[in-house]
Amino acid sequence: MAEAALRLSAVAVAPRAGPRTGALAEAFAGWTLAAPAIVLMWLMLLGPVVAVIVLSLTDWTLGAPAFRWIGLDNYLALSKDRVFWISLQNTLAYVAFTVPLSVFGGLALAMLVESASSLRGLYRTLLFLPVTSTLIAMALVFQFAFHPTVGLVNQGFGALGLPTTDWLKNPSTALYALGVIGIWQAVGLNMVLFLAGLKSIPRDLHEAAAVDGADGAWERFHRVTWPMLGPSLLFVVTITAIRALQVFDTVQVLTDGGPNKATSVLLHQMYQEGFSFLRTAYAAALTCVFLGMVLLLTWMQTQLMEKKTHYG
Amino acid sequence: MAEHLQRGRFGIPSTGFQVFRHLMLGMAVIFSVAPFVLMVAISLKPPGEVFSPQFTLLPQQWHAVENYTLAFTKQPLLRFILNGLFVTACIFAAQALVALPCAYALAKLRWSGRNITFVFVLLGLLVPTQVAALPLYIGLWKLGLLDTYAAIILPSTISVFGIFLMRQYFMTVPDDLISAARLDGLGEFSIVWRIMLPSAMPALVAFGMLSLVWNWNDYFWPLLVIQTETLATPPLGVVFFNNAEAGTNYGALMAAATAVTAPLVLAFLFAQRWFIDGVTMTAVK
């Protein structure tokens, strides 16, 4: 008590010394150093997110002098919009097609790369190469590969006696042709993420499993690698799914949503409504649906993560 | 130790497995590298050979000089690449300048707004950039900034990912180092640049690589805000080229695609350790 009183009086007498002014200076420094980031974060990211939600409750169009509050009318209109349901369905089909293949493809490649040392570095480099490439430029290469007569895909399929088609112009294959491009770019990234996950599994665990009689490769995978990879797997599935929801570049440049809306996806519809048809508020409502789906995925990830940790 | 290196992670591989491994990985490598090979192969061919029914890897008649000359003269391809370098450099400079002090404040200083600011950084990480596009577009339109370099750069000056990454890295810097710097009379601002920055170089390089890849390749945002050809970034420029040639001159188009893709692929091959470290850091939360 006495000591505390003494310290208090010391602060009162000499406010420039002592711990309190240090704390004040530290708080001042904290706010000052973080201020530019806080301002920009609200100006460029969080503020616009709030604005897009507010905008979706109005009837504003770009350039209009005034707007009215129309509540949920934009969402009501969305629910009656045939194109919206097609876009939603296409987006989900794209996610369902690309995520399993690029996640399990990435996992299989990571395990194959890690399972022996020969050419390990070379394989890793070459398989990661698509991740750094400019997707738009590579999309144009794929467009050539999918060319109905001179494309490599049809030449290869024809030589093997498999059916050929104009992949990007056939409504039943176009979305999946775009999906192949998505998988091509995502697999290498997922492989590298799984490599990091595999490295974090203690080597002893595999040896212990071997001692316990788990000598087959499958047995070791089933009993050690798979359970230990749980958190990595969940993370990779989530970010791959979120990236797949964001599919836009290949759609815009290769099919423009066609043929007959067969490749219309959420972001592409948002782009068309907002920037071609200038229905700004309607596009804002579409953006909110898109944001909702991304947040739902993240929420599911955290729920599953918590469940996992209960098992220890 | 040497035996460990030889064995790989899952024990001693049998010969049969070795063959299987190389077979599977070889097929995967063909899938991942084929588009690059195809791109370069076509960029060397004359139009007649591009559309020949039988594909060959090397051209019968070399047309590389013509294709690349056409690519660089028909459209301002060099300008697109310089635009890309300029824009990505400005963006990363701004991101680092803003993120480093904030990351230091979040990691090492006690102030009343620290927790709430960190919560907003985490919230920002959840939001895809496309969500902010409409309001940002409207704001830039009101300011008369559409179709300028500023329109491309400004929205990317903040990277919540960068703040998060640097904050995680700064947490591992020992407090003693900072106390010693304070005793030497360094202010908090100098500590960020003279003590924290040098110690965080690996994280900063990884952040720089990811920022470069993301902003060089970004197509969505430049597509929205840029109309003038001379302001186009590389992906937008290639699409301008594609639209102008209407898919007839594949040789020159692939030459343009090669020129746009090459800088990042070469950067990756020279600095792949940092690339891969950077990507891995995103996973370690």
Higher pLDDT, A11 or B203: B203
Gap between the Cα atoms of A57 and A53, Å rounded: 7
Gap between the Cα atoms of B152 and B223, Å rounded: 10
Q: Report whether pLDDT(A232) > 60.
A: yes
Question: Cα A201 vs. chain centroid, distance in angstroms?
Answer: 25
Determine whether the interchain pair B260/A298 forms a contact, defined as Cβ–Cβ distance below 8 Å.
Answer: no
Tokens 């709030």 -> residue: A50
Q: Report whether pLDDT(A14) > 50.
A: no
| Confidence band for B282, pLDDT divided at 50, 70 and 90 | low
The domain ranges of chain A are 2-55, 73-311
Higher pLDDT, A217 or B73: B73
For residue B128, list chain A residues with Cβ-Cβ distance below 8 A: 242, 245-246, 290-291, 294
Cα→Cα distances A271→A32, A264, B149, B221, Å: 38, 11, 21, 11
For residue B98, list chain A residues with Cβ-Cβ distance below 8 A: 36-37, 40
Gap between the Cα atoms of B47 and B44, Å rounded: 10
The per-residue pLDDT for B285 is 40
Q: Report whether pLDDT(A312) > 60.
A: no
Interface pTM, i.e. ipTM: 0.85
Gap between the Cα atoms of A241 and A188, Å rounded: 15
| Confidence band for B245, pLDDT divided at 50, 70 and 90 | confident
Gap between the Cα atoms of B283 and A197, Å rounded: 9
Q: Helix or strand or coil: residue A67?
A: coil
For residue A140, list chain B residues with Cβ-Cβ distance below 8 A: 238, 242, 253-254, 257
Q: Report whether pLDDT(A301) > 60.
A: yes
Taking only the tens place, the pLDDT of each residue in B257-279 is 999 999 888 888 888 777 777 77
What average pLDDT score do residues A83-92 get? 94
Gap between the Cα atoms of A213 and A218, Å rounded: 12
The per-residue pLDDT for B181 is 87
Determine whether the interchain pair B138/A280 forms a contact, defined as Cβ–Cβ distance below 8 Å.
Answer: yes
Tokens 């919230």 -> residue: B123
The per-residue pLDDT for A213 is 67
Dihedral of CA B170/A236/B124/B207: which sign?
positive
Out of 1.10.10.10, 1.10.1200.10, 3.40.1160.10, 1.10.3720.10, the CATH code matching A73-311 is: 1.10.3720.10
Determine whether the interchain pair B101/A34 forms a contact, defined as Cβ–Cβ distance below 8 Å.
Answer: yes
Higher pLDDT, A92 or A27: A92
Cα-trace Rg, chain B:
24
Gap between the Cα atoms of A106 and A185, Å rounded: 11
The per-residue pLDDT for B118 is 94
Q: Which amino acid is at A106?
A: G
Gap between the Cα atoms of A102 and A99, Å rounded: 5
Gap between the Cα atoms of A126 and A101, Å rounded: 19
Q: Report whether pLDDT(B157) > 90.
A: yes
What is the average pLDDT score of chain A?
84
Gap between the Cα atoms of B99 and B160, Å rounded: 8
What structural domains does chain B harbor? Answer: 2-72 (no CATH), 77-283 (1.10.3720.10)
The per-residue pLDDT for B206 is 84
Q: Which tokens is B111 given?
A: 């102030």
The per-residue pLDDT for A277 is 87
For residue A145, list chain B residues with Cβ-Cβ distance below 8 A: 34-35, 38
Q: Which of B20, B21, B27, B32 to mutate to test the interface with A (most CBs of A within 10 A)?
A: B32
Using a 10 angstrom Cβ sphere, with 0-12 exposed, 13-18 middle and 19 or more buried, the burial of residue A221 is middle
Q: Which of A39, A45, A277 to mutate to test the interface with B (most CBs of B within 10 A)?
A: A45
| Confidence band for A284, pLDDT divided at 50, 70 and 90 | very high
Taking only the tens place, the pLDDT of each residue in A168-217 is 888 888 999 999 999 999 999 899 888 888 887 777 777 777 777 666 66
